[in-house]
Structure 1
Amino acid sequence: MVVFERIRRFNSNLIALIRKELWSRVLLGLFLGTIVGLCLSPEYELVSKDSSSILSAWLGLPGQLFLILLQMIMIPLVFSSILLGVSAGETVENLRKFGFRVFLYFVFTTFVAVSFGIAIASFIRPGNFVDPAGIPETGILAKIPTQTEAPSFQKIPELFLSVLPKNPFQTLFAGDMLGVVLLGILVGVALLSLDGPTFKSVTEMFQAVFKTSMVFVNWAMKLAPFAVFGLIAQMTAKIGFHILVSLGVYFFCVLGGLVFILFFYSLLLALVAKRNPIRFFKNAGELQLLAFSTSSSAAVLPFTLRTGIEKMGVSKKIAEFIIPLGATINMDGTALYQATATVFLAQVYGIELTLFQLGFVLVATVIASIGTPSTPGLGIVILATILTGVGIPTEGIGIIFGVDRLLDMCRTVVNVTGDLVACNVFQRLQDAEENSSS
């Protein structure tokens, strides 16, 4: 009787937890989605391939609705949050000083991530474990843009000008995230030069836009567990586990690198931000699960903002500036993946990279990660550019594409975590400056 009573009490507590906490429902959706996806995977032959394809499409419907709901308000949310974050700087001088520090911080963490990615791939040499006869044949190359030439020094000014939002309306309608961020920064700076009443009326209008966007976020939160279940089931049904086995060393090499970045973040939190890393990851857990399932730091940007402000006590001024900017240019997980994949494919093709070439990979990956789109799968296009720059055949992308989706999900977790760590670091720095001046 005692055993049955304990089981009944455990079940009651578990049900209460699932009803109360969103993260528990998301985690349950993640677990059930994985089980259902494996049952639908053609490699286990539990269902026919045609039936698996049909069921996967329907299972993925809640996830697609979830993403569409967030995409509806992505542009107004990013634009208004960046603008409000910039205008909260009070003066152009304060903004210039703060923005420069944030940019240097992003470059520093990306540099650390890329350096470790190169180091771990060079030490473990995962390319030596790949059997050439077992390399999967894919049609991915047909889907990758052919413009993969590394930009020459002469074309850098042209490349710089190409990212500026020449037509504000076209930038907003096209959904160019980097252009939207730059436009929000420029408009926010312009607002700082307006008189008091005009400044107040304009900022109140964009605060209303931001609050309206967050209503959409609350709607999406109710759909999140079903979305996670559908997206994970759909992904697992497509790739199965046989691909992971064939590229196991490479997969765990990248995964180990991502874990290192999380450890590096823990050091920054403990030593610089003076925050408890365990409490930080507990507060970020729900967001990380959503980031894992959507593979897009842009898609979960509203949740990142809410986590930073409500759960971690970051000021709106800092969060509304750093998080939208970080979702566009702070891609430590993606940068590590690109560096590791480059060295891995060089080993597969028997190409020994010189110190100069490794230096190129380091610099090119840091620069490229700043402009990497924050949507699923597009980081592999940037990888093609880096491969071309060091003379590695871009056909090698077909080797790693089978596990790219799962690694994309993992590196997105690191990307959004990095944005929250940056918020905590700069919140601490701001608090220290205010205490020293008072």
Structure 2
Amino acid sequence: MKGGNFSSVERIFPKNLKFLSKQSNRLTKGRLWLQVLIGMVLGIATGLLLNPDTGFVSRSTANTLGEWLALPGNLFLAFIQMIVVPLILASIVRGIAAATDVRQLKSTGVGLAFYFIGSTIAAAVLGVAIGLVLKPGEYVDRAAAPQVELTGQVAELAEKGEAEAAKTFSLVSIPNEITEILPTNPLGSIVRGDMLQIVIFAIVLGVGLLSVPPESSKPLFELLGSVQQICMAIVATVMTFAPVAVFGLLAQVMIKTGPGILAGLGAYAAVVVFGMAVLLAFYLAIAAVLGGRNPLFMLRSIREPFLLGFSTNSSAATMPVTVKTAEDVLKVRPSLAQFIVPLGATMNMGGTALYQALATIFMAQFYQIDLPIGVLLALVATTVGASIGTPAVPGVGIVVLASVLSSVGVPLTGLALIVGLDRILERFRASLNITGDLVACVVMDRFVPAAVSRESEVRSAEEREHIQEACNEDVVISP
């Protein structure tokens, strides 16, 4: 077969993403998640102690201490945000090369589109339902809530979300909006962090590389492999500072918030965690019904990426471990795992959708705003649209939430109330997003047809891996 007929799908094979999981595994064995939890507790205690209401320090001194305590955390977030775009781009392009044939690539893409949209809608509806039933906004003492203005990067992100929500759509504008999804300037999309456009560019680039002779595409695949290795090396180094980062960020939050509304926000956090637990049960049910996997086995299998996602606060940073779990523990075909996990890290945001919907209901109840059924339906649609394509990094969820709040008429000033607590809750979102990716893997593994059996695919993959190790090659071309 000649170039242009996707001949490279059967001939060029980049090294599996799971081989970059060794450094992340050391973090898990070192119980990074437990260190993060300890950092959380100490950060909350330190922040409450330094809060001006306690009388130990003045307000100006407390705010200064808070800024310096939060510095390691802000640097931590900046490093993670820095590497996620190149990591996602490289992983999607190389993941496409793992497909065994064109038919599997098309079937997986169509099936994933339906699964991602359907599961995200279900998560958003679940968030709305839990918020309406448990009413977390009624537990906060409005008189004790501090009047805090959004400042710095948080204010900029909120303004960006508000601008996104302010866009108007009509039958005339829809064709233009569809056209604008395509990245006419990929470098500009990368600079702006437009993840949906970056994903589309990665898919187009990956498919394009498969349509040319392997000798032509191999250098770029190898370059992207180097990008993956560098990004994961940065992640492994930065993650060792996660407990210190969490400590400082939460200390600053408690300094600004104080103990006055701690009980109310605690009730809100408990409702969110309960919602995440319900979503986890929903995912396990999908894995049982559609994926044919025992829920208890599934729960034990996802433990490592789940805890690492909680520790790193990023589903993108845990991709190698997620792929390894899908292939080695859940026995998903390598071609599917390497394609689904990188896409899911940016497109499958069930945990994010649930949280955004539930947080919006909370803020509406706090401001005593009634949301009629029409607005609730719009809330679900806006949440789903805003969640898909959200960067899989900590801290940017505020953009999505600001967009959703603006779309239903809830004041953005309320973000100051929960933006600090979001530092904790977004870790649960990351873990649930990873769970959704693994469930997608087992479901697609059951329903997507393949030209060869799983046993044959695994055997061929092992042979290629042996050649890659023996020749010290990142990308091999089969005869």
Q: If the length of structure 1 is used for normalisation, what is the TM-score?
A: 0.81
Q: Quick one: which amino acid aligns to residue 278 of structure 1?
A: L
Distance 1:75 1:99 in 2: 21
Asked whether 1:149 is paired with 2:162, we answer no
* From 28, 32, 38, the counterpart of 1:26: 32
Residue aligning to 2:121: 111
Residue aligning to 1:11: none
- 1:230-379 to structure 2, matched below 5 A, reads 230-240=244-254, 242=259, 244-379=262-397
The Cα of 1:71 is off from its aligned counterpart by 5.8
| Gap change, CA 1:329 and 1:151, over 3 Å in 2 | farther
Residue aligning to 2:473: none
Distance 1:135 1:184 in 2: 45
- 1:189-268 to structure 2, matched below 5 A, reads 189-194=207-212, 198-199=213-214, 201-203=216-218, 205-207=220-222, 209-210=224-225, 213-214=228-229, 217=232, 220-221=235-236, 224=239, 226-240=240-254, 242=259, 244-268=262-286
Q: Quick one: which amino acid aligns to residue 200 of structure 2?
A: L
User: Bigger CA drift: 95-104 or 83-92?
Assistant: 83-92
For each residue in 1:316-347, what CA deviation from the matched residue of structure 2 results, as whole angstroms up to 9, or x when unmatched? 32122211211112111111111112222222
| Paired residue secondary structure (1:262) | helix
Aligned residues: CA RMSD:
3.4
Asked whether 1:167 is paired with 2:185, we answer yes
| Gap change, CA 1:352 and 1:35, over 3 Å in 2 | closer
Q: If the length of structure 2 is used for normalisation, what is the TM-score?
A: 0.75
Could you tell me which runs of 5 or more consecutive residues in structure 1 were left unpaired when the two chains were aligned. 1-18
Residue correspondences, number: 412
Distance 2:214 2:34 in 1: 46
Distance 1:396 1:50 in 2: 20
The Cα of 1:268 is off from its aligned counterpart by 1.8
Distance 1:222 1:307 in 2: 22
* From 83, 93, 96, the counterpart of 1:83: 93
Q: Quick one: which amino acid aligns to residue 196 of structure 2?
A: L
Residue aligning to 1:15: none
Q: Percent identity?
A: 35
User: Bigger CA drift: 261-270 or 73-82?
Assistant: 73-82
Distance 2:180 2:296 in 1: 42
Pick the structure with more helix per residue. Answer: 1
Distance 1:278 1:55 in 2: 44
| Gap change, CA 1:52 and 1:35, over 3 Å in 2 | farther
* Higher relative contact order, chain-length normalized (CA < 8 Å, sep 6+): 2
Residue aligning to 2:421: 403
For each residue in 1:336-361, what CA deviation from the matched residue of structure 2 results, as whole angstroms up to 9, or x when unmatched? 11111222222222222222111111
User: Do 1:134 and 1:246's aligned partners in 2 also have CA atoms closer than 8 Å?
Assistant: no
- 1:405-420 to structure 2, matched below 5 A, reads 405-420=423-438
Distance 1:257 1:403 in 2: 16
| Paired residue secondary structure (2:390) | coil
* From 87, 96, 108, the counterpart of 2:106: 96
Could you tell me which runs of 5 or more consecutive residues in structure 2 were left unpaired when the two chains were aligned. 1-24, 457-479
* From 49, 56, 75, the counterpart of 2:69: 56
Q: Quick one: which amino acid aligns to residue 271 of structure 1?
A: V
Distance 2:367 2:380 in 1: 20
User: Do 1:84 and 1:203's aligned partners in 2 also have CA atoms closer than 8 Å?
Assistant: no
For each residue in 1:240-298, what CA deviation from the matched residue of structure 2 results, as whole angstroms up to 9, or x when unmatched? 48354232332222211111111111112222222343343334333333322333323
Distance 1:330 1:275 in 2: 20
User: Do 1:73 and 1:213's aligned partners in 2 also have CA atoms closer than 8 Å?
Assistant: no
Q: Quick one: which amino acid aligns to residue 291 of structure 2?
A: A
User: Do 1:82 and 1:324's aligned partners in 2 also have CA atoms closer than 8 Å?
Assistant: yes
User: Do 2:360 and 2:401's aligned partners in 1 also have CA atoms closer than 8 Å?
Assistant: yes
| Gap change, CA 1:367 and 1:208, over 3 Å in 2 | same
The Cα of 1:414 is off from its aligned counterpart by 0.9
The Cα of 1:112 is off from its aligned counterpart by 1.1
For each residue in 1:347-384, what CA deviation from the matched residue of structure 2 results, as whole angstroms up to 9, or x when unmatched? 22222222211111122211221133322232222222
* From 198, 202, 206, the counterpart of 1:184: 202
